[in-house]
Structure 1
Amino acid sequence: MKVLSCLTSLIVLCLAGSAHAGSFCRQEKIDRLDQLSSIRIDDVWSGVRAQPGAATVGSSLMIAYYNKDRYVSIASVDPRSGVVCSRSFGFRFEGWDAHNNLRMAVGEDGSVHVAGGSHGSPIFYAVSKTGRLDDFREGYMLGKGEDEQEATYPTFLKATDKSLLVMYRIGHSGEGVWVTNRWDNGKWFRMAPAYGDTNGHHSVSAYPSTIVTDSQGVSHVAIVWRETPDVATNYQVDYAQTRDFVHWSGYFAKGNAGPVMPGQADIVDKPGLKQGLVNSAQLVLGRNGEPVIFYTKYNEAGKNAVFAARPGEGEWVHKEIAADTVRSPVQGGGTMVGLVSMNVVASTGKDPVITITFPSGARTKLVVGPDLSTSKPPAMPNAAQLVKTTAEPRIEPPKGMPAAISMAIPVRQEGFDGPVMGRLIWYAQQPNRDHPRPCTSEAPLACNPPPSPMKWVFPESLVSGQ
């Protein structure tokens, strides 16, 4: 009873604002689900699937999200007690641009960073140098934030020495340079630009894949280049690598100081304009540690197809590995739906496995070997032989919202890296080319959707320490 009394006193202090200055705390029920538990975090904006940023600090969850009124909020969730404390900031999301994700990162010094909410617009940035909710301060990363006014895709990553970096694009689609900042001694410092904004003749912008760093400290990236805001003007896939995010080379091409320009490193494939190339290339490391790139474009029959590429004898070799039976046009601006979806999983010493969903609804799963040959994954054991566990819960959207789906994303320990510490679940509408959705008789909730509860689903081992 004494423990319960202490917990109750703590909650009262939180509600009074003493535990977290400027925050509101409440007690939430912990739902037990066999080997999983879940806690409701808050009601969140469901107009479009803009993603929250999340990480774990100790055993607690820290999450940045848009609350039901679309303001950026940051919450701290204790999985042992069920206490949820949250703070709201003055940055308000317009509500419909699916690019406006929030990202979170935990630095080596214990600092916690939040960046995002931008698409060619002012970036939201806040930092807690202590990792405490009440210590978050909103502001600029550098100076007076001159180059943070037209920012897009802030992305956190680690340097070879484990220090925290953030990369983002300055400018707009078709004309933007990517810059890199480094967190050192409690401050951000500007490094050399990463990806350039011209091909020598006219403006371009880079769409880089997630950077993958190998065991030797080499960071690998695939880049799709675009000429204008229209996705139809994606025209080339490049590969580049770096050890210090200042000097870049190809697998074959010699190194140069950044920024990387089109064709300066390695050209993987150059289909040209209006050839269905989508800016969603993915790079993984193959069985032997070599980079393997997956991307989608039209094939010779004019259908949407997925290609894989790897380094060959002095040049990149690419091969079609799967194709749709129909052609879905790749053109226009804004966040698009109905394109080819790829999910690639790679494990050290094993061949990558790719799951492909085509616009027609066709779906396939393939293992891709070192020579780009494909095979079906081995069959799973008979279901009766598997240990039965409780399935993760879903939050289903209400009727009256068009193209609304149940969302689920992993929570990684450091926000962008580290082991998975559960998942966030909620519901949200699919993008509408980043424009507001109208309310109709068939979809009366589309323009003013009800907020979705967001929950953290986590393994019991996180609390027990097992």
Structure 2
Amino acid sequence: MIKHCLSFIIICCSFACLAQKKGITVAGTSIVGEGWANNSVNVTVFRKNSLVTNNNTQYIAFYDKDKFVVVGKRTLPSGKWQLQRTAFTGNADDAHNVISIMTDGDDFLHIAWDHHNNKLHYAKSVSPGSLEFSPQTGMTGIHEGKVSYPEFYRLQNGDLLFFYRDGGSGNGNLLINKYSVKDKQWKNLQQNLIDGEGKRNAYWQACTDEQGGIHISWVWRESPDVASNHDLCYTVSKDGGMTWQKSNGEKYTLPITASTAEVVCHISQHSELINQTSMVADKSGNPYIASYWREANDSVPQYHVVFKTGSDWKTNSLSFRKTPFSLSGAGTKRIPIARPQLIAWQAGKQFSAALLFRDTERGSKISIAYCENLSANKWSVKDIYEENVGAWEPTYDTELWKQKHRLHVFVQKAEQVDGEGKANVKPEMIKVLECLVK
């Protein structure tokens, strides 16, 4: 116990040192409970969300050691976690089958879980603030048989959007459903927003902004092989998802295809370009996209931040990595670095950003790259959590960040065997790392 407390103090001191230098403060670590750790299903970057806050209540979800879906809540800033094992189970052996949660404007908790080209698994809490759920149900009955990558997004009026892929890797389309708080029901908003035309599929990341904009960026994949990822594209909706346009205001004729998509950064196949990363928008609605790939004249994949200021798209290479690796093949890969999670903000005319990641170069700790001025592209890199987190990728409470600029990160050590393999390890403790970025 003494050793644990000393370790905690050392970690907090490390955070405090970083805070003094880079405007980051850390309140501490909240212990949640043990979860499944035989693969990365609890800690993939495309969980939207692992954590979510509504008012002063924060919710969490994860698979336990028996593959049951567990949900929990606490009162911020320092309440104890109340956990509830649901009746829902999932094929946690497949790291694609993540749990996504979101609260609507009436504080009902919505949950989707266990998806990799299969039937929709969705439920809603029985009452506001409850951890009890009604039976599993569908949403609209339209294209709900081959669902992958469920993601919830909350709009300013409390309504929800639900993104998912219909189809498979290298052959799929992006669909969006919308939930009305007033009507208490889902309707289909876009049956085919981004069309793979039976030849490819879009792997997207998305966000909403304070102006009501909905931003989506994506890479195309031409086959199940991750090496066929290419190009970074973009669209935005300013009317709740009804119509979509390019960054210059030109409206798309839907669905968006490879021939009509706005390419904001040309990246060729076999560039170690990863799919499903992260994007954010600042208070003015400027989009920022994080990813990694290898430049044509470099053997080392580097993290990149692509952002829009004024009429121009810019790409910053962080260029601090030293170790090469190659991406190829199907299934969930064991990759030496995590897909990055990005936060960004505007202070006057200056644009700042912070990138959360994990890299075997740095001992598979939790690290942060911080840039006070993106125009200067000078990044400071620090380890902020000294424990080895295995195959962890970062997810955070997006709604708490929007509301209070408090960064709460879902943390759990997990293993990932290459090509959708499963390790044989004991459950690992889940924690919430509590940071404030100024």
TM-score, length-normalised on structure 2? 0.74
Deviation at 1:81, TM superposition (A): 8.3
Deviation at 1:194, TM superposition (A): 5.5
Structure 1 156/194 Cα, relative in aligned 2: closer, same or farther at 3 Å?
Answer: farther
| 2:236 counterpart of 1:251 | no
Structure 1 86/345 Cα, relative in aligned 2: closer, same or farther at 3 Å?
Answer: closer
| Distance in structure 1 (CA, Å) of the matches to 2:292 and 2:81 | 45
| 2:142 counterpart of 1:166 | no
Corresponding residue for 1:26? none
- Say whether the 8 Å CA contact 1:283–1:292 is kept in structure 2: yes
Q: 1:392-437, CA deviations, whole angstroms, 9 ceiling, x for partnerless residues?
A: 9x9x79xxxxx846888544667x9644585555432235332223
Corresponding residue for 1:229? 224
Alignment map for 1:145-156 (pairs within 5 Å): 145=141, 147-156=143-152
Among 203, 211, 220, which residue is 1:207 paired with? 203
Alignment map for 1:359-374 (pairs within 5 Å): 361=362, 365=369, 367=371, 369=373, 372-374=375-377
One-letter amino acid matched to 2:97:
N
Corresponding residue for 2:127? 130
One-letter amino acid matched to 1:351:
F
Bigger radius of gyration, 1 or 2? 1
| Distance in structure 2 (CA, Å) of the matches to 1:174 and 1:57 | 36
Out of 186-195 and 232-241, give the one that drifted further. 186-195
Among 342, 345, 350, which residue is 1:344 paired with? 342
Out of 220-229 and 284-293, give the one that drifted further. 284-293
| 2:353 counterpart of 1:353 | yes
| Distance in structure 1 (CA, Å) of the matches to 2:176 and 2:155 | 11
Give the unaligned 5+ runs of structure 2: 1-7, 13-25, 43-48
- Say whether the 8 Å CA contact 1:240–1:251 is kept in structure 2: yes
Please, what is the CA RMSD of the aligned residues? 4.0
Deviation at 1:135, TM superposition (A): 4.5
Among 177, 183, 202, which residue is 2:179 paired with? 183
Among 318, 326, 349, which residue is 1:329 paired with? 326
| Distance in structure 2 (CA, Å) of the matches to 1:340 and 1:78 | 30
- Say whether the 8 Å CA contact 2:338–2:392 is kept in structure 1: no
- Say whether the 8 Å CA contact 1:56–1:421 is kept in structure 2: no
Identity between Structure 1 and Structure 2 (%): 19
TM-score, length-normalised on structure 1? 0.70
Deviation at 1:46, TM superposition (A): 1.9
Structure 1 182/410 Cα, relative in aligned 2: closer, same or farther at 3 Å?
Answer: same
One-letter amino acid matched to 1:452:
E
| Distance in structure 1 (CA, Å) of the matches to 2:265 and 2:302 | 14
| 2:398 counterpart of 1:375 | no
- Say whether the 8 Å CA contact 1:125–1:139 is kept in structure 2: yes
Deviation at 1:354, TM superposition (A): 4.5
Structure 1 324/139 Cα, relative in aligned 2: closer, same or farther at 3 Å?
Answer: same
Alignment map for 1:57-456 (pairs within 5 Å): 59-76=56-73, 84=82, 86-89=84-87, 91-133=88-130, 135-143=132-140, 145=141, 147-159=143-155, 161-184=157-180, 185-193=183-191, 195-198=193-196, 202-213=198-209, 215-243=210-238, 244-252=240-248, 254-285=250-281, 290-303=286-299, 304-310=301-307, 316-318=313-315, 320-322=317-319, 324-336=321-333, 337-339=335-337, 341-349=339-347, 350-355=350-355, 361=362, 365=369, 367=371, 369=373, 372-376=375-379, 404=390, 410-411=396-397, 418-419=403-404, 420=406, 424-437=410-423, 446=424, 449-454=425-430
| Distance in structure 2 (CA, Å) of the matches to 1:110 and 1:334 | 36
| Distance in structure 2 (CA, Å) of the matches to 1:456 and 1:254 | 41
Q: 1:332-390, CA deviations, whole angstroms, 9 ceiling, x for partnerless residues?
A: 122221246534331232423344766655989453756x54124599xxxxxxxxxxx
Corresponding residue for 2:22? none
SS at match of 2:191: coil
One-letter amino acid matched to 1:147:
H
- Say whether the 8 Å CA contact 1:326–1:360 is kept in structure 2: yes
Deviation at 1:149, TM superposition (A): 2.8
Deviation at 1:104, TM superposition (A): 1.1
One-letter amino acid matched to 2:39:
V
Deviation at 1:273, TM superposition (A): 2.2
| Distance in structure 1 (CA, Å) of the matches to 2:192 and 2:398 | 25
| Distance in structure 2 (CA, Å) of the matches to 1:368 and 1:263 | 36
SS at match of 1:427: coil
One-letter amino acid matched to 1:103:
S
SS at match of 1:50: coil
| Distance in structure 2 (CA, Å) of the matches to 1:293 and 1:359 | 23
Corresponding residue for 2:3? none
Q: 1:127-151, CA deviations, whole angstroms, 9 ceiling, x for partnerless residues?
A: 01522536411322325x4633321
SS at match of 2:206: coil
SS at match of 2:143: helix
Among 41, 46, 54, which residue is 1:50 paired with? 41
